[in-house]
Amino acid sequence: MANALTRFLFDPVDAPADRVPPRHRFTGGQLSWIAPLAVGVVGVVIFLVLLLGDPSRALFSYLVAWTFCVSIALGSLFFVMIQHITKARWSTTIRRIPEALSANFPLLALAGIPVLLGSHDLFHWTHAELYDPASPYYDALIAGKKAYLNMPFFLVRYVLYFVAWTWLGHRLYAISVGNDTDPDADRTLELRKVSAYGIPLAAVTTAFAGFDFLMSTDPHWFSTMFGIYFWAGGWLGALCLITFLALWFKKMGMLPEVTVEHLQDMGKFMFAFVVFWTYIAFSQYMLYWYANIPEETVWFLKRLSFGWGTVAWSLVIFNFILPFLILLPRITKRIAPVLAVMAVWLLVMHWVDLWWVAMPAMEAEYEEVAATPPAMDEGGAVQLLPAQAVSGVNDLDGVLDPDAADAATPARGETPDDVMDLDVIPPAIPIFEMLVWLGLFGLFLGVTILRLQRHALTPYNDPYFAESLRFENV
Please tell me the predicted confidence (pLDDT) of residue 114.
97
How do residues 23-58 score in pLDDT, each as one tens digit?
A: 899 998 899 999 999 999 999 999 999 999 899 999
Q: Are 307 and 427 spatial neighbours (Cβ–Cβ below 8 Å)?
A: yes
As a whole-number percent, the residues of the chain with pLDDT over 70 amount to 86
Q: How confident is the model at residue 410 (pLDDT cuts 50, 70, 90)?
A: very low
Kindly report the average pLDDT of the chain as a whole number: 87
pLDDT reported for residue 387: 33
| Res 398: pLDDT | 38
Confidence at residue 385, expressed as pLDDT on a 0 to 100 scale: 38
Q: What is the mean predicted confidence (pLDDT) over 114-138?
A: 94
Write down the pLDDT at residue 17. 60
Q: What is the pLDDT of residue 415?
A: 37
Q: Which residue has the higher pLDDT, 340 or 386?
A: 340
Q: How many CA atoms lie within 13 A of 116 on its CB side?
A: 15
Tell me the mean pLDDT in the region 61-66: 98
Instruction: Write down the pLDDT at residue 83.
Output: 97
Indicate whether 76 pLDDT > 70.
yes
User: Quick one: pLDDT at residue 2?
Assistant: 56
Residue 9 pLDDT class (50, 70, 90 cuts): confident
- The tens digit of pLDDT for each residue in 101-121 reads 999 999 999 999 999 999 999
Return the pLDDT at 408. Answer: 38
Under the banding of pLDDT at 50, 70 and 90, the label for residue 425 is: confident
Residue 21 pLDDT greater than 60, yes or no: yes
Is residue 400 scored above 60 in pLDDT? no
* Residue (of 343, 341, 448, 434) closest to 37 by Cα position: 448
Is the CB of residue 449 less than 8 Å from the CB of residue 36? yes
Mean pLDDT of 342-361: 97
Distances (CA, A) of 429 to 238, 352, 358, 381, 435: 26, 11, 15, 21, 12
pLDDT band at residue 6 under the 50/70/90 scheme: confident
Would you kindly state where each structural domain of the chain is located, as residue ranges? 4-365+423-469
Average pLDDT over residues 453-470: 94
How far apart (Å, rounded) are the C-alpha atoms in residues 97 and 89?
Answer: 16
- The runs of H, that is alpha helices, within 292-401 are 294-304, 308-316, 322-327, 336-358, 396-400
